[in-house]
């Protein structure tokens, strides 16, 4: 997408208009299934102690104690950890002199939005991974993160569900696990939807906190952070 198209998208977001959703039947239009074939790059080690989100730069590990005036429950960040693993090292996002084998994200939406801005595609020299929330134990966050290819995962959206960046998305290795989770939380989460990874890509950019500013920064429209 060029800058003119991006600015048009920003205008739609500012007015509260779904930028791409109307082209694909709106929220919940997809059915779970594979988003892409092609290369399956193995996931890379997760730098829990030093890692930051490649899109919003928040830590991928839940901070201990207060952070930016808030205290988060144990395991709150890790449950939505996501990764783009590369077949070949590529320049680091903020330091072209360095290379990285993977990019790390603390939100599913952050990963999808980063890929949307930078033109990254699953199965084309990169594999997108998400944490299987069905196998995750918040009491043992880093130990129970199990990465599954995003292309085969089922994604759950809960209207009142709180996750990092307020993205309202979790990933599950199977549709049944996602449906069981939804049934157990229908009273707390309000409206619920299931998505395939392809549907998330079709709907990008996905709503989350500070979306317009983050998209503008990654597109080079904002030079100062």
Residue 127 to residue 42: CA distance in whole angstroms: 8
Residue 200 to residue 183: CA distance in whole angstroms: 22
**By three-state DSSP, how is residue 198 classified?**
helix
Per-residue exposure over 35-64, b if at least 16 CB sit within 10 Å of its own CB, e if not = bbeeeebebbebebeebbbbbbebbbbbee
Which ranges of the chain have pLDDT less than 70?
A: 1-37, 223-225
Residue 99 to residue 55: CA distance in whole angstroms: 17
Give the pLDDT score at 96: 80
How confident is the model over 155-204, as pLDDT tens digits? Answer: 999 999 999 999 999 999 999 999 999 999 999 999 999 999 999 999 99
Closest to 121 measured CA to CA, from 204, 3, 31, 214? 204
Give the pLDDT score at 18: 34
């Amino acid at each position: 997408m060029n800058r003119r198209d991006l600015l048009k998208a920003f205008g739609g977001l500012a007015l509260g208009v779904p930028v791409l959703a109307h082209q694909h039947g709106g929220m919940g239009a997809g059915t779970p299934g594979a988003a892409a074939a092609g290369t399956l790059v193995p996931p890379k080690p997760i730098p829990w102690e030093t890692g930051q989100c490649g899109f919003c730069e928040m830590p991928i590990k839940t901070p201990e104690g207060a952070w930016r005036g808030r205290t988060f429950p144990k395991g709150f960040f890790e449950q939505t950890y996501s990764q783009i693993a590369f077949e070949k090292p590529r320049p680091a996002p903020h330091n072209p002199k360095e290379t990285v084998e993977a990019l790390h994200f603390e939100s599913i939406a952050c990963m999808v939005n980063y890929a949307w801005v930078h033109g990254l595609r699953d199965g084309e020299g990169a594999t997108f991974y998400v944490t299987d929330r069905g196998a995750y134990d918040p009491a043992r966050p880093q130990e129970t993160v199990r990465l599954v290819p995003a292309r085969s995962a089922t994604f759950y959206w809960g209207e009142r569900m709180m996750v990092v960046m307020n993205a309202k998305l979790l990933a599950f290795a199977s549709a049944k696990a996602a449906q069981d989770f939804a049934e157990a939380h229908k009273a707390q989460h309000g409206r619920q939807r299931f998505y395939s990874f392809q549907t998330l890509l079709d709907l990008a950019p996905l709503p989350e906190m500070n979306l317009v500013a983050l998209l503008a920064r990654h597109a080079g429209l904002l030079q100062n952070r």
